[in-house]
Amino acid sequence: MLNPNDRLVIASHNKGKIREIRELLEPFQLDVVSADDLGIPEPDETGTTFVENSVLKAVEIMKHCGLPCLADDSGIAIDALNGDPGIYSARWAQKEDGTRDFSLAYDRIFKSLDPQQSHKAHFVCVLTLAFPDGATHSFEGQVHGHIRLPARGDHGFGYDPIFTPEGYSQTFAEMGQDFKEGISHRYHAFEQLKQFLRKP
């Protein structure tokens, strides 16, 4: 279990993801650092599901630092692409030099789909908490909606500018950060994590 002022390592190098997770963890008053802050490299994601990759990242980085680690594996699944890019969401945006440009991913998606139409999709987030005693706990959240070009909005990151959640007219990237964090896939996974952390 985690108590106030305990150190927790976010098993990520994605600055947007780290920022969101830090903000969601604020009520627990933890000493939150990232794998990037500690200079720990990202492990290869060799799993075939979001859960497998989330567990893999949390456990590998926990072994490096000997501290509790929280990993997030998330991505977008598009119905008309049989669930792709799915666990390969980040890789679809990868450039030859290893950096990421999500406009490349948008182009790849809409070369396969009609860019004038909206297409059903959902975001998935799996959070895994790994402890040095070997215990792991995973929590999954989803949010359904659709994708459509052109990309809209300056907030968020990744696929946020082309994803509109059900019941809304704005993309995630057009919504204020606080509002998005209250309805996102990461929020739904975090609600389960929070219940776990509040257990006596």
As separate numbers, helices (DSSP H) first and strands (DSSP E) second, the chain gives: 5, 6
Q: Which two tokens stand for residue 65?
A: 């630092």
How far, in Å, are 7, 56, 85, 121, 184 from residue 112 at the CA level?
A: 44, 31, 12, 14, 26
Under DSSP, is residue 156 helix (H, G, I), strand (E, B) or coil?
coil
Q: Which two tokens stand for residue 43?
A: 């492990």
How far, in Å, are 38, 67, 70, 137 from residue 1 at the CA level?
A: 22, 12, 13, 11
Q: How many angstroms separate the CA atoms of 163 and 147, rounded?
A: 5
Q: Any catalytic annotation for residue 36?
A: no
Buried/exposed code over 116-132 (b: 16+ C-beta within 10 A; e: otherwise):
eeebebbbbbbbbbbbe
Catalytic residue among 36, 73, 84, 107: 73
Q: Catalytic residues, which ones?
A: 73
